[in-house]
């Protein structure tokens, strides 16, 4: 009986959504990114709404640039290098240079097929971008070059496809928009080696955001390997079958060494044989880093009503 209660309690714990979700712009950006090959990302900062056909978003997967006109999105793999350079270039906006590393899922093999390299249908390519920043803040293209292979040191090939050229300039434009509006912090670009209590609590909120939107793969991948070894994916996902509604409130966080223990309360409603069953629980997650990645593990929950 105790074992059955523990299973039910853990299932209810894991199905809860965030009490505090992102704002309307962030939610809208996440919805668009899901359509473009990036489901389950939680957006922390975005330029969504600056233009109606493009935006950048800092997410749980990194910096993603979206091109709604061409129906594609790409991960900017070296945003931690590009953004500081753009910041510095505000002082000297002429004759700017950046090398941007893109990864485009589900890309098509067109005129730039030899640029960079491919992993299945994901196209990785680097762009040597020459540009200037106009007084109005927009990016002026001065020349875009690329190279084949993963370890290029010289960029002599032209970038031929219009959609790839637009991807580069749009990305720089939208990043520059955030910079000029003071709407970003270094933590958005590259997570610190350690994290604050608020960041740990935000990680827990992100987990429940993924659950609330049924991004089960993304939520499960936030677990530590140790916790995954105790909770198989199929059995874990089946625990959501009876869920009707849920409400979670993140309370606080205690730090001990490199571990943040995040406490919360939750109210769950399940449909059990046609009857709505209300339950109130309290519990915690431990948030810690493994190989530089913040993961969740060691959950504990108990029923309080």
Task: State residue 124 phi and psi, 5-degree precision.
Answer: -100, 125
Within 10 angstroms of residue 75's Cβ, the number of other Cβ atoms is: 21
E strand residue ranges, 82-168 = 96-104, 117-119, 122-133, 139-146, 157-158
Q: Tens place of pLDDT for every residue, the chain, 305 residues?
A: 444 344 444 444 444 333 334 568 888 999 999 999 888 777 888 999 999 999 999 987 789 999 999 999 999 988 888 988 898 888 888 889 999 999 999 999 999 999 998 988 899 999 999 999 998 889 999 999 999 987 777 899 999 999 999 999 999 999 999 999 887 665 667 655 566 788 888 888 888 777 777 788 888 888 988 899 999 999 998 988 887 777 878 999 998 767 899 998 888 888 899 999 998 889 999 998 876 678 899 999 899 98
Q: Which residue ranges form the domains of the chain, and what is each CATH number?
A: 2-18+194-303 (3.10.450.50), 48-182 (no CATH)
Rounded to 5, what percent of the chain is helix, strand, coil?
A: 30, 35, 35
| Residue range 15-54, pLDDT digits in tens | 433 333 456 888 899 999 999 988 877 788 899 999 999 9
Q: DSSP letter at 94?
A: S
| 229-234-236-237 Cα dihedral, nearest 10 degrees | 150
**Residue 21: partners with Cβ closer than 8 Å, 6 or more residues away:** 27, 205, 209, 212
């Amino acid at each position: 009986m105790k074992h059955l209660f523990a299973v039910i309690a853990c299932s209810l714990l894991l199905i809860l959504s965030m009490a505090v979700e992102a704002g309307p712009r962030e939610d809208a950006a996440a919805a668009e990114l899901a359509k473009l090959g990036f489901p389950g990302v939680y957006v922390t900062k975005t330029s969504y709404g600056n233009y109606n056909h493009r935006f950048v978003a800092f997410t749980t997967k990194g910096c993603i640039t979206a091109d709604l006109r061409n129906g594609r999105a790409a991960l900017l793999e070296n945003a931690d290098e590009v953004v500081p350079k753009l910041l510095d270039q505000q002082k000297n906006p002429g004759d700017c240079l950046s090398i941007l590393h893109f990864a485009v899922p589900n890309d098509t093999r067109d005129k730039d097929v030899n640029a960079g390299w491919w992993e299945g249908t994901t196209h990785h390519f680097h762009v040597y971008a020459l540009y200037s920043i106009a007084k109005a803040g927009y990016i002026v293209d001065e020349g875009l070059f690329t190279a084949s292979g993963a370890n290029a040191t010289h960029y002599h090939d032209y970038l031929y496809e219009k959609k790839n050229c637009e991807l580069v300039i749009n990305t720089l434009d939208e990043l520059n928009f955030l910079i000029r509006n003071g709407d970003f912090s270094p933590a958005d670009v590259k997570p610190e080696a350690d994290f604050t209590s608020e960041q740990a609590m935000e990680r827990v909120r992100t987990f429940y955001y993924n659950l609330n939107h049924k991004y089960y793969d993304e939520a499960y991948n936030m677990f530590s390997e140790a916790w995954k070894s105790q909770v198989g994916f199929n059995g874990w996902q089946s625990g959501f079958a009876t869920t009707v509604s849920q409400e979670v409130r993140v309370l606080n966080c205690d730090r001990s060494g490199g571990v943040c223990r995040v406490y919360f309360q939750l109210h769950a409603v399940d449909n059990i044989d046609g009857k709505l069953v209300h339950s109130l629980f309290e519990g915690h997650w431990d948030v810690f880093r493994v190989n530089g990645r913040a993961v969740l593990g060691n959950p504990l929950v108990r029923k309080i009503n």
